[in-house]
A and B are shown apart, each in its own frame.
Chain A
Amino acid sequence: MEGVMIPYTAERRPDTGVSNGTLGIWLFLASETMLFGALFSAYALLRTSATDWPASGREILGTTSVVSMTFALFGVTAMIWTASKPQAKTRHFPLLLSASLAVCFLGFKSLECSSKVSAGLLPSSSMFLALYFTLTGFHALHVLGGIAANLWVARGVWRLDEAITTGRLKALALYWSFVDVVWVAILVAFYAT
């Protein structure tokens, strides 16, 4: 039995209205939404039923690093959207700059986490910290995955044609936008309340 070949094309399909790559990234993001939905559901359950919850998360987590992390993460997405425009002059620079910003984000995050651990604030210390480490840990893993994807797309810029690179960059931009949305939800859940 012969396998069905899906053509590797960056063009829009007439039936779906989007390219195969765009459809693929939307399906992936739908599954990621379910993953984070389950985590935020656990957050809602445990927070509402918790008897001991801090009055303000900012007192425990601080505010200096979170501002830097937010700027770094939004900068990543802005860079990728800029690079994905068809009239963009260069693709490499924004891709590598956004990867560097994402590395900065992870650096700030690891500093924040290590300061908590060294102060004796472990996931086992309280429900708040357990949820904080779990949710931000999963988010940081997605940032790490995004860096790998950035480098993979940057590697393909020289070898592949313009249409395929633009399609990949648009998919990457959608991914980073999703990571931003999750970060905003984390900000609201842990820092803003």
Chain B
Amino acid sequence: MRRNSQRLAAIGSCWLAAGATALACPICFQVEDANTVAGVRAGVIVLMSVTVVVLSAVAAFSIRIWRNEKVSRPDA
């Protein structure tokens, strides 16, 4: 257990000491290409809209089950 922790610490130190250039998605850094930014925004809006609709339906169905359970339970 202790040996594993030492190995992990050694690997982590090497990784931190390597000092490589950080690579990131250019969209996160406000790339100048307005089309790309607008495209990503549109894609995220569509995907989030679909997800919200599906999750709302699941939530509505859960509430329906909860209400039916309350009604059908004799001690309610």
How long is the Cα–Cα vector from A39 to B66 in the complex, in angstroms? Answer: 34
CB distance from A80 to the nearest CB of B (A): 22
Q: A33-B54, A47-B39 are in contact. Are A15 and B72 (CB under 8 A)?
A: yes
- How many A residues face the partner with a CB closer than 8 A? 22
CB distance from B37 to the nearest CB of A (A): 8
Q: A49-B35, A49-B38 are in contact. Are A41 and B50 (CB under 8 A)?
A: yes
The interface residues of chain B lying within 8 Å CB-to-CB of A37 are 46-47, 49-51, 54
How long is the Cα–Cα vector from A44 to B64 in the complex, in angstroms? Answer: 34
Asked whether, in the complex, the Cβ of B43 is within 8 Å of the Cβ of A30, the reply is no
Closest to A30 in B: B54
- How many B residues face the partner with a CB closer than 8 A? 26
The residue in B38, B40, B61 that gathers the most chain A C-beta atoms within 10 A of its C-beta is B61
Q: A37-B51, A40-B50, A41-B50 are in contact. Are A16 and B43 (CB under 8 A)?
A: no
CB distance from A76 to the nearest CB of B (A): 24
Q: Is the interface of A mostly helix, strand, loop or mixed?
A: helix
CB distance from A31 to the nearest CB of B (A): 9
How long is the Cα–Cα vector from A43 to B64 in the complex, in angstroms? Answer: 35
C-beta contact mask, B37-74 vs A, less than 8 Å → 1, else 0? 01111111111011101100110010011001100100
The 22 listed contacts between A and B (C-beta, < 8 Å) are: A14-B72, A15-B65, A16-B65, A30-B57, A30-B58, A33-B53, A33-B54, A34-B51, A34-B54, A37-B47, A37-B49, A37-B50, A41-B44, A43-B46, A44-B39, A44-B46, A45-B39, A45-B40, A46-B39, A48-B42, A49-B36, A50-B39
